[in-house]
Amino acid sequence: MKATLQEIQNGKIIAIIREVPSEVIVDVAKALVAGGIRMMEITFDQKSREGIQNTLESMNLLDAEMHDEIYLGAGTVLTTEQVELAYEHGAGYIISTNVDLDVIKRTKELGMISMPGALTPTETVTAFRGGADIVKLFPAGVWGVDYIKAVRAPLSHIPVSAVGGVNAANIASFFRAGVCCVGVGNNLVSRSCAVNKEFEAITRTAWEMRTQLA
């Protein structure tokens, strides 16, 4: 399914799936759905051509087998070419680590939701003026909830997400600080859990996080 901005905000939690082999990607997605999470960001593995190919294979599999159950997005998108590849492989939203106006522009041209990464107020405003739908404050866990509150105070008109260091113990505090959604990576879907097929553990963690927001 192609996510709308409202659906992302209602879903609240985006699972960041990084360096998970395509052979188990569908099982990981099913475990997340069982735990109440349908937003899934498949990150581009920038370290190698093989890593990027695994990313695209994973997106293909999810789009083919779980199209009606999940909202598929692409993460760590650094170039306009990767925006186009993600679009071709079923992504409905693009998440980046940085602010790249060309990436934002191409994302919007293709009708997708744009979520670039920023840290400072200057970067946040630049991203939003460039067309971003949500600005990803990253790394949120390093700077903390008080920093997010301080940034949002004068910029409350800009929807922001928190990514980096979010876990079941602190997830609610980020929402109290005013974010509209969060991205959760290793604290929700670790590579080791995936390759060891510990899918029930992923489901339990997903439910625990959802419970904190009830």
Instruction: Point out the catalytic residue in the list 57, 88, 136, 208.
Output: 136
Instruction: Point out the catalytic residue in the list 2, 12, 19, 41.
Output: 41
pLDDT of residue 109: 98
Task: Give the model's confidence band at 1: pLDDT under 50 very low, under 70 low, under 90 confident, else very high.
Answer: confident
Domains of the chain, by residue range, sit at 5-212
Check whether 3 has a pLDDT greater than 90.
no
Active site residue 12: no
Q: Are 160 and 143 within 8 A, CB to CB? A: no
Helix 80-88, helix 101-109: angle, nearest 10: 30
Give the tens place of pLDDT for each residue, 14-53: 999 999 999 999 999 999 999 999 999 999 999 888 889 9
Check whether 2 has a pLDDT greater than 90.
no
* pLDDT, the chain, mean: 96
Active site residue 105: no
Give the tens place of pLDDT for each residue, 76-123: 999 999 999 999 999 999 999 999 999 999 999 999 999 999 999 999
- pTM of this prediction exceeds 0.85: yes
Task: Give the model's confidence band at 191: pLDDT under 50 very low, under 70 low, under 90 confident, else very high.
Answer: very high
DSSP 30-49: HHHHHTT--EEEEE--TT-H
Q: How far apart are CA 43 and CA 53, in angstroms?
A: 11
Q: How far apart are CA 57 and CA 16, in angstroms?
A: 16
- Percent residues over pLDDT 90 in the chain: 94
pLDDT of residue 169: 96
Check whether 186 has a pLDDT greater than 90.
yes
Where do runs of H (alpha helix) occur along the chain? Answer: 5-11, 25-34, 49-65, 80-88, 101-109, 121-129, 140-152, 171-176, 191-195, 199-212
User: Homologous superfamily of 5-212 in CATH?
Assistant: Aldolase class I (3.20.20.70)
